[in-house]
C-alpha cells in the first residue's frame, strides 16, 4: 500500500479529547497572590460568596403533596429501645392455634361449637337465593382485573397465561354483604333494628406478658354489632383444662419485632354515643395473596384457626378496656364474640368468651369454640362456557343464621 500524505494526518476529534484529558489533570500553581494581598490588608473572598445570592425559603404546605417519609432509625419520633412484638393482618403464627391459645390464655372445652347454639333448617327459597348470591359474587360481577399468576409446584418454571376475572377481595366483599342483606330482609324487624354493620374497622390491643411488650393491630373486614352484649356460652369449671405446650418454640415466635411503634388501645366505636356498639359477629376475609407465612411456606389450617382466635380476642379485649377501663383484669361479666372466617369457598365458625384480661392467670381462663372448615360449594365457574355451581352446602347459611339470631 502506498503511503500518502493523508495517512499522516491527526484525527481531530481524538486529538481534542486527548488535549482536554491532559489539561484536566494539571494542578494550578500557587503564585502567592492571596498572601501578598492579605499582607496589604486587602480581603480576598471566593467568587461564589459574592455572585451567589443567599435566599431563605419558607415551607409551604401543598394539598396532595406527599411528604418525604421519615427515616426508620433512632431519629424517628416513635423510636423506642424496648422491642414490641406485633401481630398484623398479614401475619400467621408459626405454631398456629396452640400458640394463639397460649398468647391469649385461652382453652378449648370441646371440639365443635357449643351445644346451646341453635341451628335451624332454612327454607327452600332461602337456599335458591343463596345460590344466586354465590353465582353473582364468583361469576357474574363485571370486574375484570389481572389475577395472580398460576403456579404449578411440579413445574415451577412453566409460565401459564395470565387470567383475568374477579379478585379475591371483591368476591368475599360481595359474598358477605349480600348474605347479610339476605338475612336482614328475611329476619324479624325486632332483631334487625338491634344490629348494625361496619366495614374496615381497625382495632389495637397492647399488653405486657412475661416482661415482653406485645401489641395486636388488626382489621375487622366486616363487624356486626348489637344493642346488647351476647350472653355467656360457658359457665363450667376450667381448672382441669391446661394450655397446650409448644416447647421448644417460644410464645412470641414469628411475631414481628418492632422498635418504631405507638402503644394505643383502639376500639373505634364510642360505646357512650352509638346504641349498637357491642361487638356481636366478626367476619374475616382470608386472602391467599395477602396472608403469608413468615418463612414463605404454605399456610396451614391450624394457622388459619389461630388467626381467627387472635382477631376475635383483639376486638373483644379492646372493647373490654374501653368499657371497664385500662387497668381491668378479671371481668365482672364475660365478653362473648362470634367470628366467621372465609376465603369465599370455605367458612370457619368460632366463638370466644373472654373471662379475664390477665393473660398469666391460671385460675381464670378464656374459652374458645370452633368448627372445622365447612365448604360452601364444590365448584363455581365456567364449565364448557356455561356458568356452573356444583355441590352447594346449606350448612353454611344455617350457621350464619344461627350466629346472626344469637342473643
Mean pLDDT of 140-158: 90
What distance in Å separates the CA atoms of residue 362 and residue 106, rounded to the nearest whole number?
10
Confidence of residue 137 (pLDDT cuts 50, 70, 90): very high
Closest by Cα among 388, 376, 315 to 178: 376
Helix (H) or strand (E) holding 221: strand 212-226
Between the alpha carbon of residue 301 and those of residues 98, 293, 304, the distances in Å are 12, 12, 5
Confidence of residue 380 (pLDDT cuts 50, 70, 90): very high
Give 133's contacts (C-beta < 8 A, 6+ positions apart): 175, 178, 179, 182
Residue-wise pLDDT for 160-195, tens only, equals: 999 899 999 999 999 999 999 999 999 899 999 999
Confidence of residue 251 (pLDDT cuts 50, 70, 90): very high
Confidence of residue 294 (pLDDT cuts 50, 70, 90): confident
Higher pLDDT, 135 or 236: 135
Between the alpha carbon of residue 333 and those of residues 169, 183, 312, 325, the distances in Å are 36, 29, 17, 14
User: Is residue 6 pLDDT above 70, yes or no?
Assistant: no
User: Which three cell numbers mark 139?
Assistant: 361469576
pLDDT in the model for residue 131: 95
Query: How many beta carbons lie within 10 A of that of residue 137, not counting itself?
Result: 22
User: Which three cell numbers mark 213?
Assistant: 411488650
Closest by Cα among 181, 169, 177, 179 to 343: 169
Closest by Cα among 135, 304, 340 to 222: 340
User: Which three cell numbers mark 195?
Assistant: 344490629
User: Is residue 105 pLDDT above 90, yes or no?
Assistant: yes
Helix (H, G, I), strand (E, B) or coil at 377: coil
State in Å, rounded, how far the first CA of the chain is from the last one: 107
Q: Quick one: DSSP state of residue 235? A: -
Pairing of strands 379-383, 386-390: antiparallel
User: Is residue 13 pLDDT above 90, yes or no?
Assistant: no
What distance in Å separates the CA atoms of residue 115 and residue 130, rounded to the nearest whole number?
26
Mean pLDDT of 272-286: 91
Helix (H) or strand (E) holding 212: strand 212-226
pLDDT in the model for residue 292: 87
What distance in Å separates the CA atoms of residue 343 and residue 289, rounded to the nearest whole number?
11
Helix (H) or strand (E) holding 310: helix 301-324
Confidence of residue 87 (pLDDT cuts 50, 70, 90): very high
User: Is residue 345 pLDDT above 90, yes or no?
Assistant: yes
pLDDT in the model for residue 270: 87
Closest by Cα among 373, 392, 382, 375 to 133: 392
Calculate the average pLDDT of the chain.
90
Helix (H, G, I), strand (E, B) or coil at 242: coil
User: Which three cell numbers mark 395?
Assistant: 350448612
User: Which three cell numbers mark 9?
Assistant: 494526518
pLDDT in the model for residue 8: 58
Give 353's contacts (C-beta < 8 A, 6+ positions apart): 232, 233, 234, 334, 335, 336, 366, 367, 368
User: Is residue 97 pLDDT above 80, yes or no?
Assistant: yes
User: Is residue 3 pLDDT above 70, yes or no?
Assistant: no
Closest by Cα among 228, 214, 277, 248 to 94: 248
Classify the C-alpha dihedral 58-61-62-68 as positive or negative: positive
Query: How many beta carbons lie within 10 A of that of residue 375, not counting itself?
Result: 13
Mean pLDDT of 260-266: 93
Measured in whole angstroms, how far is the alpha carbon of residue 311 from the centre of its chain? 10
User: 3-state DSSP: the chain helix, strand, coil percent, rounded to 5?
Assistant: 30, 25, 45
What distance in Å separates the CA atoms of residue 209 and residue 59, rounded to the nearest whole number?
45
pLDDT in the model for residue 123: 86
Confidence of residue 7 (pLDDT cuts 50, 70, 90): low
Residue-wise pLDDT for 188-243, tens only, equals: 999 999 999 999 999 999 999 999 999 999 999 999 999 999 999 998 888 788 89
User: Is residue 262 pLDDT above 90, yes or no?
Assistant: yes
Amino acid at each position: 500500500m502506498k503511503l500518502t500524505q493523508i495517512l499522516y494526518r491527526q484525527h481531530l476529534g481524538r486529538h481534542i479529547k486527548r488535549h482536554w484529558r491532559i489539561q484536566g489533570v494539571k494542578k494550578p500553581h500557587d503564585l502567592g497572590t492571596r498572601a501578598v494581598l492579605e499582607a496589604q490588608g486587602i480581603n480576598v473572598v471566593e467568587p461564589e460568596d459574592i455572585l451567589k445570592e443567599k435566599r431563605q425559603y419558607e415551607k409551604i404546605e401543598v394539598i396532595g403533596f406527599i411528604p418525604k417519609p421519615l427515616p426508620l432509625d433512632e431519629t424517628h419520633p416513635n423510636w423506642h429501645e424496648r422491642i414490641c412484638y406485633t401481630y398484623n393482618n398479614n401475619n400467621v403464627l408459626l405454631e398456629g392455634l396452640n400458640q394463639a391459645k397460649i398468647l391469649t390464655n385461652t382453652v378449648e372445652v370441646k371440639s365443635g361449637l357449643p351445644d346451646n347454639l341453635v341451628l335451624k333448617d332454612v327454607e327452600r327459597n332461602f337456599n335458591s337465593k343463596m345460590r344466586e348470591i354465590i353465582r353473582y359474587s364468583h361469576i357474574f360481577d363485571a370486574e375484570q382485573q389481572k389475577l395472580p399468576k398460576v403456579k404449578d409446584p411440579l413445574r415451577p418454571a412453566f409460565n401459564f397465561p395470565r387470567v383475568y376475572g374477579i379478585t379475591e377481595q371483591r368476591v368475599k366483599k360481595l359474598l358477605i354483604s349480600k348474605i347479610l342483606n339476605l338475612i336482614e330482609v328475611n329476619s324479624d324487624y325486632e332483631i334487625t333494628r338491634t344490629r348494625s354493620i361496619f366495614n374496615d374497622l381497625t382495632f389495637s390491643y397492647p399488653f405486657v406478658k412475661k416482661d415482653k411488650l406485645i401489641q395486636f393491630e388488626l382489621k375487622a373486614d366486616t363487624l356486626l354489632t348489637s344493642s346488647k352484649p351476647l350472653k355467656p356460652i360457658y359457665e363450667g369449671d376450667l381448672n382441669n383444662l391446661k394450655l397446650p405446650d409448644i416447647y421448644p418454640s417460644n410464645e412470641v415466635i414469628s411475631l414481628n419485632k418492632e422498635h418504631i411503634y405507638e402503644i394505643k388501645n383502639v376500639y373505634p366505636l364510642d360505646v357512650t354515643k352509638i346504641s349498637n356498639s357491642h361487638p356481636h359477629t366478626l367476619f374475616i376475609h382470608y386472602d391467599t395473596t395477602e396472608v403469608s407465612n413468615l418463612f414463605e411456606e404454605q399456610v396451614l389450617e391450624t394457622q388459619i384457626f389461630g388467626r381467627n382466635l387472635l382477631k376475635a380476642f383483639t376486638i373483644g379485649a379492646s372493647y373490654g378496656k374501653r368499657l371497664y377501663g385500662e387497668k381491668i383484669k378479671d371481668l365482672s361479666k364475660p365478653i362473648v364474640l362470634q367470628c366467621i372466617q372465609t376465603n369465599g369457598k370455605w367458612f370457619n365458625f368460632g366463638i370466644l368468651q373472654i373471662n379475664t384480661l390477665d393473660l398469666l392467670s391460671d385460675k381464670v381462663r378464656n374459652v374458645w369454640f370452633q368448627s372445622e372448615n365447612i365448604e360452601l360449594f364444590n365448584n363455581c365457574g365456567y364449565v364448557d362456557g356455561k356458568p356452573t355451581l356444583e355441590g352447594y352446602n346449606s350448612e353454611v347459611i344455617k350457621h350464619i343464621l344461627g350466629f346472626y339470631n344469637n342473643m
